[in-house]
A and B are shown apart, each in its own frame.
Chain A
């Protein structure tokens, strides 16, 4: 029983990292029908920036964790907006596949750039949470896991509040639903796309910084996470932000349970297993767990 709760909590912590990145994928997908392949590498790159803030002396001193964290979020936002404006916007009249290719190119560039600037060797990334555990009823709950979950979910909630209650958030939602109508109401949809990329980059940065302490910082650190995030987003139905979060969390828990209770499933098999789960769910429910089946009338 204790094993169950431990697996549950660690699964939720991992799942929150997937959920954050999954939400980023869905944000951009909803607005543009493009899957941003570079989402993981953007997250990785911004995590390296956090690393630089934490370890390289800037203006005579290094930053402590939380100031570096928030500064990184700001930098990530600008980074995301910038990438959309400079790299993606010129291709706005091209086909979806062209834009997807461009995001693949970004993936490659960011991966290479990170290895070039900081070298590919694994680095240690600090965690703001203590490594001790609470013991409640015999169950060991890691503070690290709790913190990870808390921070990631807090970011998701803040973003939700933004979309739900602000004028700009409403405009972004409207622009995703019907861009032409939105423009006729004066919405500068082009800039809102950039905004979407900015938010997605912030979510990615959170995902990366929460993932790095356990998975170590390396240029490839987010590749597997991207797959898990994608799987989570698809499970939730790629159009649904709620689904993306639920899917990511659910996948994390499911993998954790499988890893604990099913012995042939070793850590190296997590990814193939996730892929398998994804394929199985899609065979049964093609629109994902939360998605609606879109019937296209020809």
Chain B
């Protein structure tokens, strides 16, 4: 079966600086894939290349269709939800308005019930200004909003950034839930390799804009050489 997402030799640059030098990877329907690597390895850029936030060369194929030179609006409509670095919430708007924005592309009434099943505490905070939420709550809000898009693929950029370990575990638990109960495929970028590998089934490790190594999480976790060289633990 064709993968849900396929990158074939994708490159990207910021001005004069090349950040990706031909990255190829796949994400199958319903699986969780982790994208690991050190700072500056190109993990965030890879997600941006997929969503069209940064200009790319090479092929990105989603659900059998090649995504051409399109911007983020088009990729979103194709069914990819990208939660960027820093969460991308609308700080000055209320929690509820943020959620409403998640359902922007969809016709009819948004299914808030379903979202509240996974994130029940949002109901009580509806009118709170999103910028005043804690880091962990903002991450959850971003997830909830992305989920409202009813995407087929969820791309998460460094969800653990700035969060305490307990909160991070909670975030990944929800991601795992969404994946198992809703069949949502996830591509997650993480510096915290340990927790990523506990949730993901497969992982790619990037190094200076290339895929250095890839494999199932179990294989990567059990290989000591790989762990110390690439994963830092």
Contact = CB atoms under 8 A, between A and B. Distances in A.
Contact of B76 (A170, A173, A178, A185): A185
B85 to A, nearest CB: 10
Contacts of B65: none
A186 B92 CA distance: 19
B92 A177 contact: yes
Given A174-B97, A177-B93, A186 B88 contact: no
Interface in B65-122: 71-73, 75-77, 81-82, 84, 88-93, 97, 100-102, 104-105
Contacts of A188: 73
A200 B18 CA distance: 41
Contact of A184 (B51, B91, B93): B51
Contacts of B72: 180, 183-184
A181 B142 CA distance: 10
A186 B53 contact: no
Dominant secondary structure of chain A at its interface with chain B: helix
Contacts of B92: 177
A183 B104 contact: no
A229 interface: no
A183 B101 contact: no
The size class of the interface chain B forms with chain A is 20 to 34
B44 interface: no
Interface string B22-54: 000000000000000000000000000001010
B149 interface: yes
B97 A170 contact: yes
A89 to B, nearest CB: 14
B84 A167 contact: no
A46 to B, nearest CB: 31
A295 to B, nearest CB: 14
A180 B93 CA distance: 15
Contacts of A173: 90, 93, 97
A178 B84 CA distance: 12
B101 A182 contact: yes
A182 B72 CA distance: 9
B50 to A, nearest CB: 11
Contacts, number: 66
B149 A185 contact: yes
Contacts of A167: 100, 104
A188 to B, nearest CB: 5
Interface in A142-196: 167, 170-171, 173-174, 177-178, 180-189
Given A171-B104, A185-B101, A177 B71 contact: no
Chain B CB within 10 A, most for which of A174, A178, A181, A187: A181
Contacts of A189: 73
Nearest to B53: A180
Chain B CB within 10 A, most for which of A167, A178, A182: A178
A178 B88 contact: yes
B79 to A, nearest CB: 10
A186 B77 contact: yes
B150 to A, nearest CB: 12
A186 B90 contact: no
Given A167-B100, A170-B97, A180-B53, A185 B105 contact: yes
B84 A180 contact: yes
Interface in B112-162: 145, 149
A187 B89 contact: no
A-B pairs, 3 with minimum CB distance? A181-B88, A186-B105, A183-B72
Given A174-B97, A180-B72, A182-B101, 12 more contacts: A174-B90, A174-B93, A177-B90, A178-B90, A180-B84, A181-B88, A181-B90, A184-B53, A184-B76, A184-B84, A184-B88, A185-B105
Interface of A: 167, 170-171, 173-174, 177-178, 180-189
Interface of B: 51, 53, 71-73, 75-77, 81-82, 84, 88-93, 97, 100-102, 104-105, 145, 149
22 contacts: A170-B101, A171-B104, A174-B101, A177-B93, A178-B89, A178-B90, A181-B89, A181-B90, A182-B90, A183-B72, A184-B53, A184-B76, A184-B82, A184-B88, A185-B101, A185-B104, A185-B145, A186-B77, A186-B105, A187-B73, A187-B101, A189-B73
